[in-house]
């Protein structure tokens, strides 16, 4: 027998939430096979079985909060057997020994025990098991429409014979909540663990920093022309990696951070910690909220390596495959609201960092070239939100002006790299 425990996650993470059981009680598991997914403050983590055997006990349900080191399941030696061969004989023997003289009581006891056993051993997907709990359906009475594994649609079918009982149970609390204004219905949903964490962290930043935002605008003409000239050759030379704008802004940020080191710092108690590495967080939007994976050592990487890292991290984020190492240790963050059409915003600093760079939509606008000429140019507003406890306004404006100058003169950016 082997206990499945919540593994060490990260220095700052002490607990997680059971997101989904990938195996059910009675299932065969292999050594190293994923059996449950945990949702932490930062990423989802899949927990493996250390031994091969049968999952015989689940100690925490989906949605439960569990601490690092706690036992959440038990895997026993042996092989899984069909529920129909296991459940009934074991449960039929116990009543006959305890109460041979009371047939009716024995039959009732046996029925209850068989129900518990069948619910534990029946083959069902985690989503079907969760739906059955929500609807109060006994899995042993659910008939499968295809195959031996119960699926959500099978549970839905089992619920249909009792259409009147369910609304009656739910109508009273629902009516009680909507009595004030029944013409204005609402839907109440519990925030996911990650959304709760995002809300908590953003509020902490707002309360614990003296945050200001300064703005500038960038003429994207030269970098767009350079990208247009070089993108095909770049893609050929770097195994299909595409040349985007993020690598230009990342390299520009590194150069500006070297020029203004306080922007690459954080406060720790009464100390100012000046970071001499350049691990840049790139904000990525997912269905569950914003995550910020880290492109490490950007000062040592070329444009192609940065672009490929960004693509790889974005794919991992959307597939919920980010590891804790992908999220830890950033020194500065870039967020691009322009991909969603944002013209201007005031981004919120990420964690304990000193500043964050915000990119926005590229919009063609008339720009004065000199006192006599106007031209339509592709323009982008950029923003730097910064902690005024660390960074003065002069430094913030200078930092953003450095970004502007390097993007408008990409040849200089290549020299800086």
**Phi, psi at 170, each rounded to 5°:** -90, -20
72 and 66 Cβ atoms separated by less than 8 Å = yes
Q: Assess whether 325 carries a catalytic annotation.
A: no
* Catalytic option among 154, 388, 405, 412: 388
58 and 21 Cβ atoms separated by less than 8 Å = yes
399 and 358 Cβ atoms separated by less than 8 Å = no
Residue pointed to by tokens 């499945």: 4
Residue pointed to by tokens 């690598």: 247
Q: Which residues contact 364 (CB under 8 A, 6 or more apart)?
A: 376, 377, 378, 379
Give the residue among 409, 385, 270 at the shortest CA–CA distance from 337.
385
List the structure tokens of 221.
Answer: 């003409």
Contacts 24+ apart (CB under 8 A), 207-213: 209/349, 209/387, 209/388, 209/389, 210/387, 210/388, 210/389, 211/348, 211/349, 211/385, 211/386, 211/387, 211/388, 212/385, 212/386, 212/388, 212/393, 212/396, 213/346, 213/347, 213/383, 213/384, 213/385, 213/386
38 and 66 Cβ atoms separated by less than 8 Å = yes
Q: Which residues contact 50 (CB under 8 A, 6 or more apart)?
A: 2, 4, 31, 32, 75
Q: Assess whether 238 carries a catalytic annotation.
A: no
37 and 20 Cβ atoms separated by less than 8 Å = yes
* Catalytic option among 99, 392, 405, 412: 392
Contacts 24+ apart (CB under 8 A), 364-371: 367/219
Q: Which residues contact 4 (CB under 8 A, 6 or more apart)?
A: 35, 36, 47, 49, 50, 71, 72, 73, 74, 75
410 and 224 Cβ atoms separated by less than 8 Å = no
Q: What is the torsional sign of CA 349, 350, 356, 360? A: negative
Residues marked active site are found at: 388, 392
């Amino acid at each position: 027998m082997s206990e499945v425990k919540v593994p060490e996650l990260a220095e700052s993470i002490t607990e997680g939430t059971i997101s989904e059981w990938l195996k059910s009680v009675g299932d065969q598991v292999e050594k190293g096979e994923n059996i449950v997914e945990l949702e932490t403050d930062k990423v989802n983590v899949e927990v493996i079985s250390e031994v091969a055997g049968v999952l015989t006990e689940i100690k925490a349900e989906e949605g439960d909060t569990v601490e690092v080191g706690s036992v959440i399941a038990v895997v026993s030696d042996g092989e899984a057997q069909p529920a129909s061969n296991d459940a009934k004989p074991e449960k039929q023997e116990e009543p006959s020994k305890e109460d041979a003289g009371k047939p009716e009581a024995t039959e009732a006891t046996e029925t209850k025990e068989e129900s518990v056993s069948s619910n534990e051993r029946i083959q069902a997907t985690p989503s079907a098991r969760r739906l059955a709990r929500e609807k109060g359906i006994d899995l042993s009475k659910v008939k499968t429409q295809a195959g031996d594994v119960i699926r959500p649609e099978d549970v839905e079918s089992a619920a249909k014979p009792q259409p009147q009982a369910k609304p009656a149970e739910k109508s009273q609390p629902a009516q009680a909540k909507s009595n004030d204004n029944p013409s204005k219905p609402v839907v109440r949903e519990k925030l996911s663990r990650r959304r709760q964490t995002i809300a908590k962290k953003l509020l902490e930043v707002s309360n614990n920093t003296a945050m200001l935002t300064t703005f500038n605008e960038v003429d994207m003409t030269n970098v767009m022309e350079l990208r247009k000239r070089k993108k095909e050759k770049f893609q050929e030379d770097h195994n299909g990696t595409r040349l985007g704008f993020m690598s230009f802004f990342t390299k520009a940020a590194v150069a500006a951070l070297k020029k203004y080191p306080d922007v690459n710092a954080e406060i720790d108690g009464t100390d100012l910690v000046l970071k001499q590495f350049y691990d840049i967080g790139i904000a990525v939007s997912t269905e569950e909220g914003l995550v910020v994976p880290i492109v490490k050592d950007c000062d040592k990487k070329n444009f192609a390596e940065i672009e490929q890292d960004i693509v790889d991290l974005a794919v991992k984020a959307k597939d919920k495959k980010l590891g804790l190492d992908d999220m830890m240790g950033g020194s500065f963050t870039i967020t691009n609201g322009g991909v969603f059409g944002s013209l201007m915003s005031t981004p919120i600093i990420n964690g304990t960092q000193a500043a964050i760079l915000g990119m926005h939509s590229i919009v063609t606008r008339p720009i004065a070239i000199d006192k006599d000429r106007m031209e339509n140019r592709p323009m982008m507003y950029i923003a730097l939100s910064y902690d005024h406890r660390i960074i003065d306004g002069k430094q913030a404006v200078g930092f953003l002006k450095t970004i502007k100058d390097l993007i408008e003169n990409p040849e200089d950016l290549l020299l800086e790299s």
